[in-house]
Structure 1
Amino acid sequence: EPEILEDFNKLVQREDPDIITGYNIDGYDMPLLEERMKFNKVRFSIGRDYISPRRIMDQYWRLHGRVIDDTWWEVRKVLHPKHETLNYVSNMLLNEGKEDVNRLDIENEWKNRRDDVIKYCIKDARLALLIYRKIRILDRNLYLSTVSMLPLDDVTNGGTSTYVDSLLIRRADRENIGVPMSSSKFSNDTYAGGYVHTMDPGLYDMIVVLDFKSMYPSMIIKYNICFTTLSPEGTIVAPNGARFLDPGVKKGIIPDLLEQLMKNRDEVKKQMKEDKSNHDYLDGLQAAIKVLMNTFYGVLGTSFYRFTNREISSAITAYARNTITSIIADLDKSGNKVIYGDTDSIFIESGKKTLDEAIEYGNRLSSDISRKENLVLEFEKIMDPLFSHGAKKRYAGKIVYPPSSAGEILVRGYETRRTDSFDLQSEALSTVFDLILSRDVEGAKQYAEDLVKEVATGKIDTSKLVISRSVKNFSTYKNAGSMANVNAAKKLIDAGETFIPGMKVSWIVTDAGKTPQAVEPFIDGRKFTHTPDYVYYSKRLQETLNRVLESLDKEIAVFKNPQSKITDAFEEKPKKRDIEDFFK
């Protein structure tokens, strides 16, 4: 073993890679290599300066001269797949799976099928590299590195506040402004977020969608919002009472940075149209600038950032709410029917009979409002028709403009976009939306009714009933024993499978009537030998589809009391989410 480990060190030094990746190397390969190196008294010398990798705050590995970037973690962040196994993800992205070797009996496999095991290991490494390239992780991180002026390692492994720090601290230093230490105090203080204008349930025709260009950055620029301009002597008074100095007195660092970033993005987008040969690179660059711009508001509203100030973040959202509500009120007064608004978008029923008339109407509104508000309100799309059952942030529409997106079905807020839904649930909702948006409401009802009956009799592919959910360390749950995802994870461990806190676990409900709910883990690529609780799934399916159908008076009633025992058993209590959740 010492010789193998020494040869591994030599291999890395000889090949001299910039990036070291693999699938779950962060939680398995690197810790195991470190442990075996120590045991065999071999120096783990794979850095460019022959220094060993270091584990930083139990979150990532740092290695001098190279970046360690786990493909598994990147897949989780970028794709949010239903299953996170290498076999599932490689089949999904590459149409290629792992070799057929039983890793739970690897010693006998090595004894009897040595060449196959070698092929298995090599292919695992190759698949991880192909996935890493396929989802263009390195490209994305290089773009962010360029616009944030950070080393690649910091972008790969750092948080979003690191991007903002890089720009703000440089600027503050040049202007002789003191920079506070990072905050370690967490606060539960909350403030009002974005405005949501509720939509009545129903089908709507020729809906024009107007979208604010970079809503929160625009508010920061327009009202000179910054920690350097927050002052009792300020003449710009926010709706929450915060006061900011006029730009003529003092231009804020953050508004100035954002203004420059916005100009840079516009310039890059202009170059995209002119320089077709570099279109992909420029597109990635403008997307990275957009990410960075939107990060400023996010970190200002968290409780642990060095420049955090809830008075400032509250002022930003208050200005945004006032702006959008004022625009909606003006539109209503002038006879335009606003049916929905969501933080930075406004949906207006145009009342037009033809697409050309609706396009002209959208362009005119966009131009008039942008000029009046001194902001950019873009004419984004037209949907015809648009459906909602009346809940906040839930709608589905068929895009008819712009031409590049015409024919697409846009769904927001429903289970078609949630990875903790079972596939049949998502597929059924998509089909119901397709029928409704084709104005075949009766067909949607009939389809839903037939499908619920079919599932109740067990005439369905079992793999379409899989539910997936991330599982934290068991000790973090108060009632771990009652939670389906935790019990599924425990059964995986008992079966000899790998479990790492934070990973996604998949299962099928076999008896929803038991307490706790009986579940069996589902492993992609392996035959499921248990019998699903088909009645549970059909009832849950009926409840899901009825949330859509009942608003059109087309509710189905295969089961008279579908909600009796179908509560999902993988969350302790419904958790109210706020901005903190996106930065932890």
Structure 2
Amino acid sequence: MAREKDNSIQLGAMKYTVPKPELVDCISKKKLHCSPLSSAFVSESRRKGILPTLLREVLGARIMVKASIKHARASKTDPGCAPVGPEIGGQRHIRLYQRKLQREDAMCRGELGDVADAILGKGRETLERAITLVNEGNYGGARVIYGDTDSMFVLVAGATKAEAFAIGRRIADDVTKDNPTPVVLKLEKVYMGCVLETKKRYAGWMYESEDDEEGVLDAKGIETIRRDTCPVVAKVLERSLRLIFTRNWRGLSVYLNTKLSRLRDLPYTDFVFSKEYRGEYAENAAVPQRKVAL
């Protein structure tokens, strides 16, 4: 928090002075916590914060919705039920609101820049500590191959599905114990086959429990789920990924040869895409909107 020459603190629209006796009392009773970027916060027992309260309620709602979706997927008693997707029941709106609270405060730098920096800094510190714990721990040779914000991907080479779940639960429990309440690391899923393209762009053959007999394709940020890509790319990529993750190499070869040989027979609407042209690209960048503009 920005400190003025008169020892007052500027936080957003507020400007106040912390009484020295209160500050000394917080330090002596270890009720003061400093973020990696030197912003200081009192403990919850001293004063409960507004943002943590909001986040607990929003996160609780999101967990409840995800649990309901998982239960609906598992219970196939009613054949007339519609398929349950990952973004129904308001989950997408809850997720976006949660991210707005916990991470994208950084966009409001003019008002609460110190709070935004503290959130991002603490999140990074927590993630790095978890990565170190896994890489230096005894988890059957497991190592972190990707980490971003509040999640990490752990490679357990050669493990079966059951072994991967067992190791994942151990890691989740140990990371949770290494952090203060209410920080919790949850094992969400196991990928038996995964493609990490770039940051926030990946796909995998997902199992949510050991009891899942058949995996499902799970994709984040790639063309199969993006609205700005052309339909033919989304369809071909999704079908190809399914064949790759199920190791149907012969089927993949036949499918691609057939699809590519019939591209000219497809309607032009299958080739329409919508992307922003930003004007500045590397000379060898393979960006569709750049090629069209040139």
Counterpart check, 1:246 vs 2:43: yes
Q: Unpaired runs of 5+ in structure 2?
A: 1-10, 72-83
Aligned to 1:407: 215
Structure-2 change in CA distance of 1:369 and 1:567 (3 Å): closer
Counterpart check, 1:372 vs 2:175: no
Counterpart check, 1:332 vs 2:139: no
Alignment RMSD: 4.5
Structure with the larger RCO, 1 or 2 (CA within 8 Å, 6+ apart): 1
Instruction: Tell me which structure has the larger Cα radius of gyration.
Output: 1
For residues 292 and 229 of structure 1, the distance between their equivalents in structure 2, rounded to whole angstroms, comes to 32
Shift of 1:381: 0.6
Aligned to 1:301: 106
Structure-2 change in CA distance of 1:364 and 1:445 (3 Å): same
Aligned to 2:202: 395
The answer to whether the Cα contact below 8 Å between 2:192 and 2:204 also exists between their aligned partners in 1 is: yes
For residues 13 and 259 of structure 2, the distance between their equivalents in structure 1, rounded to whole angstroms, comes to 60
Aligned to 1:197: none
Shift of 1:396: 1.6
Give deviations 1:491-511, integer Å, cap 9, x for gaps: xxxxxxxxxxxxxxxxxxxxx
Please give the residue correspondences for 1:148-547 in structure 2 after superposition, counting only pairs within 5 Å.
180=13, 235-259=32-56, 284=89, 292-297=97-102, 300-303=105-108, 308-334=111-137, 335-351=141-157, 353-374=159-180, 375-388=183-196, 390-402=197-209, 406-441=214-249, 444=252, 447-455=255-263, 458-468=264-274
Q: Unpaired runs of 5+ in structure 1?
A: 1-177, 182-226, 274-279, 471-476, 480-562, 573-584
Q: Could you say what secondary structure the match of 1:419 adopts?
A: coil
Structure-2 change in CA distance of 1:271 and 1:229 (3 Å): farther
For residues 378 and 229 of structure 1, the distance between their equivalents in structure 2, rounded to whole angstroms, comes to 40
Shift of 1:440: 3.8
Structure-2 change in CA distance of 1:286 and 1:407 (3 Å): closer
Aligned length: 249
Q: TM-score, normalised by structure 1?
A: 0.36
Structure-2 change in CA distance of 1:569 and 1:261 (3 Å): closer
Shift of 1:409: 0.5
Shift of 1:229: 11
The answer to whether the Cα contact below 8 Å between 1:387 and 1:437 also exists between their aligned partners in 2 is: no
For residues 342 and 449 of structure 1, the distance between their equivalents in structure 2, rounded to whole angstroms, comes to 37
Q: Could you say what secondary structure the match of 1:379 adopts?
A: coil
Structure-2 change in CA distance of 1:461 and 1:317 (3 Å): same
The answer to whether the Cα contact below 8 Å between 2:35 and 2:121 also exists between their aligned partners in 1 is: yes
Shift of 1:340: 1.8
For residues 361 and 426 of structure 1, the distance between their equivalents in structure 2, rounded to whole angstroms, comes to 34
Shift of 1:332: 0.8
Q: TM-score, normalised by structure 2?
A: 0.65
Shift of 1:333: 0.9
Shift of 1:249: 3.9
For residues 284 and 230 of structure 1, the distance between their equivalents in structure 2, rounded to whole angstroms, comes to 44
Residue identity (%): 25
